[in-house]
Amino acid sequence: MKLPLALWLLLALTACGAHTMAWKVPLETLIWEGVTNPKCQRLKNPPSASAFFKPGDELWDVMAAVEWEAEEAADLDPFAPPVTEDQPGPGLEWLVWNASSGKLVGHGSWAQLDIVEQQLDLPGQPHLIRTTFEVHRDRAEPSTVSLLSQSGEEFSSKSRGLHLSATAHLSADRMLVDIALAASWQRDTDWTDGIEIGATVPVERTVSLATWQDEQGSWEVRVSCEAITTEGTLITQLREFETPRGIERIDDGSVRHPTVSRRSLANGLVTGSFHVPPDFLFRISGDRRGVFPDLAQGKDARIFPGPRWIDVREPLRANGLQLSTPGSLAGFHPDDHIITVVSTSTDVDLLEVIVSPGCICRPLAIEHTLQSPGIMARLLCRSGERVGIVRSRRGTSGKLLEIATNIGAGERLMDVRYLIDFESGIHLDSATILTTGEPQEIAVFESVGKRSAVTLTGTIRVMDH
């Protein structure tokens, strides 16, 4: 089961203390010799009960074998205990390699587990993209090709009448794939259909790129992309943590909106909780040597659970928050890296701006649907790009449909340039402005009292994971 970042942080907020987390990575990522390192010790029994351990698992204590980067750990979390000879590493209770499951399992606070993850450098690990391309036809078995590629490298395939050429780019958070492709397939003995298209595809989701339907039949083109490690593990399955309900996947990618929770209180104030970097206080105060008092007076245990919260009202006031209404409080939890404020909605809004990583741009797509007498076509495209449906016969090819779209301000209107050249004799070459989701008759034909129209609809969609 996947668990969004905001939810597992909320669980962390309400259950302060030690946690158990696992990473599906080779042990050599952390210890280059693996279990042959003399400091790795075979365990007869698990260090404690955990859903990550099963009877008969081969377990190794690897804590002492890791060469902890002390300075980097201190920079990452100024509140973490210092690394010493008596206390190696980030202060974890234990760190175990489960050779049977291929997982590194650690037990400690979120701050300590963060240091382990930083040393693993998951974003820096090599990865591949598995792209699966499918053509579904109404009177034939689906044609499918699945290919591995590196991000940004062109790949191609020719097999059994299906030709594919594409380039896929994995986003920085490894949750989206930008793919540009050209494909063609045999429709019958004489005709070959194809598409030229670009799309942003969420990983591990099948997306319909194009559909065509006429009197001769119909087809649909689908694509899906997976980000995997060189060992074949899905990127979304690299990180898991243990809850009372069992093992949950941490599927957060990289940059996500930092809000954990926000709600109104009975006294008219608002409470907001946000996930922040471990050194957040030093960033906003500018003083790494600052000493901050504990939050004690007026603390509500339902809002500030756990034994230790740091009072951060003064550095937040220096950054524009008022915190002047009776009952206003602001605390930072040094283990879970969560800042919670009880104040007016204006103060909570301002804090949300301060902790935001910046512009979080939503990946948008335009789904165009064209209706014409006897023909229905649908194409997915991105703003600023040209897409099309191509048909060829015995070496002669031409575009049945070509569309170029630019999304306007407010994500409501779009400029559309289109070229239509159907075998039925309809030829259109023009431009229009569409409102998202609203059909528009771009051409009307009347003859001998019979009316027919060509209708184009553009719908803006968010392609988020």
Write down the pLDDT at residue 187. Answer: 80
**φ/ψ of residue 332, rounded to 5:** -120, 130
Q: Say whether 73 sits in a helix, a strand or coil.
A: helix
Write down the pLDDT at residue 81. Answer: 56
Pick the closest to residue 421 from 447, 384, 390, 446 (CA basis). Answer: 390
Neighbours of 418 (CB within 10 A): 20
Joined together, the tokens standing for residue 173 give 């958070």
Radius of gyration of the chain (CA): 28
Write down the pLDDT at residue 353. Answer: 82
Query: CA 79 → CA 70, 76, 334, 356, distances in Å?
Result: 13, 9, 6, 22
Query: CA 292 → CA 285, 289, 371, distances in Å?
Result: 11, 10, 65
pLDDT along the chain (465 residues), means of 10: 43 58 93 94 96 96 84 53 52 92 91 81 88 90 93 92 93 88 87 92 95 92 95 90 85 46 83 81 68 77 80 90 91 82 92 72 88 94 94 80 91 94 88 96 90 94 78
Write down the pLDDT at residue 172. Answer: 80
- 101 backbone φψ class: left, alpha, beta (φ>0; ψ -120 to 50): alpha
Write down the pLDDT at residue 7. Answer: 41
Strands 338-343 and 239-243: unpaired
Cα(401)–Cα(195) distance, rounded to whole angstroms?
Answer: 10
Write down the pLDDT at residue 358. Answer: 58
H or E segment at 314?
Answer: helix 313-317
**φ/ψ of residue 157, rounded to 5:** -155, 140
Neighbours of 235 (CB within 10 A): 25
Residues with Cβ within 8 Å of 86's Cβ and at least 6 positions away in sequence, in order, are none
This prediction's pTM: 0.73
H or E segment at 191?
Answer: strand 191-202
